Amino acid sequence: MSYQESDGTGLHHDPLNGRKLNIGIISPYSFETPGGVQFHIRDFAEELMKRGHKVEVLAPGRRTRDMPLWVTTNDSSFSIPYNGSVARLSYFGFVGPRTRRWVKQGHFDIVHLHEPETPSLSHKPLTMIHHPPFVATFHAAFDPYPLALRFFQGYLRQYLSPLSAGICVSEAAKKVVNHYGPRNIEYSVIPNGINCRFFANAQPKASWQGTPDKPTIGFLGRMGEARKGFAVFARAAYDIVKRYPSARFLCAGTGQQDAMKILGRIDPSGELAGHFEFLGRVSDKDKARFYKSLDVYVAPQTGGESFGIVLVEAMAASCAVVSSDLDAFAAVAQDGNDAMLFANGDGHDCARRVLQLLDDPQRRKHLQHEGFARSKRYDWQQVADRVLEVYARVLS
């Protein structure tokens, strides 16, 4: 079956024609400190189970109380700087044999590996002689292309050769995979997914909402990681408060101490910091309410982003979005049609774009409408259909 755009009914087609699969999914990263890849795996697994498929997930690290029962951990992980962040991986000792035993004992119809180029669990099953079909999803995007990958690309191309199919979450990710991925398999570009209805139905929080003369502008991310762009957001805020002296900047995520240092460097007087409110790490429910409460959401990331999931989430909540013009973000925004773009790293240009929306409520409303329509393209019902099409092709 071919993939069909949603008609707004929420219906999806079944590429497997009723067949129910036993699917194993391997995460390279620990679920103890969830990030984008782990959330992707969790949400995709839940969508598959809604459709009647059996799903098991293997991940590094230890179990936590809120971890789903269908996630198995190997009680082993270590931290390593990776792509401007810190990842918890698992690679050494008995990790390989235990991972391959999990695959063998699972009797899976298909095994889905995430980022198998990463030295962690997803890397390990590829040495098996007898195994179910392997499908891989590649999430990472780099600019420039890392020297380490350049050095190992010949090895990786050979090591990844057992894959039956590859999925890239964006054209930016596919551009990276073209360097080291096997050349004998088909690569599909399938984006990350979200539950559009969850964000669309969220209720704003009155204490977070702004007014025409006291707008609320939002940031979500790890403020201690330079690539998440909090410094760009802070420089933009310095310009915005000159036009809107009562503007408030609502920040969700970790790294408040780092954020305060950045604000102190930009405005030693401390006045700018008084416009900021830090929410810390928020739940999924509060994240949806956060987007719904904002006048403008800003995504100032400066690099290392293969997809714009935060843009899509905000769009689904009918929030106007201003983002840096990273390739992955521009693709989601359709080059500025569904979100307003500013020059990467330029806080003044970011402020200019935010002010354009604050000064023109009709323009902001139009962007909200366009963004919401765009977000439906990324609903899990549609995204899962496309992944299952890859499974069907591999199994046939």
Domain presence at residue 265: yes
70 & 180 share domain = yes
Residue with tokens 């604000």: 263
Domain presence at residue 372: yes
102 & 220 share domain = no
Per-residue confidence (pLDDT) for residue 75, from 0 to 100: 87
What are the DSSP calls for 322-357, one per residue? EEE--HHHHHHTTTTTSSEEE-TT-HHHHHHHHHHH
For residue 15, say if its preceding peptide bond is cis, omega within 30 degrees of 0. no
Domain CATH number, residue 115: 3.40.50.2000
Domain presence at residue 7: no
Domain presence at residue 6: no
Per-residue confidence (pLDDT) for residue 8, from 0 to 100: 41
281 & 332 share domain = yes
Per-residue confidence (pLDDT) for residue 146, from 0 to 100: 79
Helical ranges in the chain per DSSP H:
36-50, 95-106, 147-159, 171-180, 196-200, 230-243, 256-266, 284-293, 309-316, 327-332, 347-359, 361-375, 380-395
178 & 83 share domain = yes
162 & 284 share domain = no
Beta-bridge partners for 165: 135
> What b/e sequence results for 270-280 when a residue is b if at least 16 CB atoms lie within 10 Å of its CB, and e otherwise?
eebbebbebbe
331 & 232 share domain = yes
On whether the CB atoms of residues 211 and 239 are closer than 8 A, the answer is no
How many domains does one find in the chain? Answer: 2
160 & 207 share domain = no
Per-residue confidence (pLDDT) for residue 9, from 0 to 100: 42
Across the 396 residues of the chain, what is the mean pLDDT of every consecutive 10-residue run? Answer: 39 84 95 87 96 96 89 85 72 90 97 94 93 95 80 92 96 92 94 96 96 97 94 98 98 96 96 97 96 98 90 98 95 94 98 98 97 96 96 96
Per-residue confidence (pLDDT) for residue 304, from 0 to 100: 84
Domain presence at residue 36: yes
Q: How far apart are CA 317 and CA 339, in angstroms?
A: 13
241 & 335 share domain = yes
pTM for the full predicted model: 0.88
Range of the domain at 99: 22-193+379-395
Quick check: helix, strand or coil at residue 154? helix
Beta-bridge partners for 194: 379
Domain presence at residue 16: no
Domain presence at residue 11: no
376: phi > 0 → left, psi -120 to 50 → alpha, else beta; which?
Answer: alpha
390 & 273 share domain = no
187 & 286 share domain = no
Residue with tokens 């080291």: 180
161 & 305 share domain = no
95 & 235 share domain = no
Domain presence at residue 2: no
